[in-house]
Amino acid sequence: MTIYRILYQSESLLTGTEREVRGRVDAIVAAAQRSNTASGLTGALLFTDGLFIQALEGEAQALETTFERICRDLRHRRVVLHEFSEAPGRVFDGWGMTAVAGDPRAATLFSPGDATAHRTSRNHALASAAVTLMRGMLDGPAVRPGADRGVRGGAAGGA
Residue at 150 is within a domain: no
Residue at 152 is within a domain: no
Residue at 100 is within a domain: yes
Q: Helices H, strands E: what count in the chain?
A: 4, 5
pLDDT band at 138 (very low <50, low <70, confident <90, very high): confident
> What is residue 110's DSSP assignment?
S
Q: Which domain holds residue 72?
A: 4-138
Compute the distance between CA of residue 103 and CA of residue 115 in angstroms, rounded to an integer: 22
Q: How many domains does the chain have?
A: 1
Which of these, 136, 145, 135, lies nearest to 42 by C-alpha position? 135
Residue at 20 is within a domain: yes
Residue at 145 is within a domain: no
Query: Any idea which of 1-10, 38-47, 74-83, 127-136 has the lowest mean pLDDT?
Result: 127-136
pTM listed for this prediction: 0.76
Tens digits of per-residue pLDDT, 84-116? 999 999 998 877 788 887 666 666 666 544 444
Residue at 117 is within a domain: yes
Cα separations in angstroms, 157 against 98, 106, 111, 140, 153 = 9, 19, 23, 22, 13
Residue at 79 is within a domain: yes
CATH of the domain at 108: 3.30.70.100
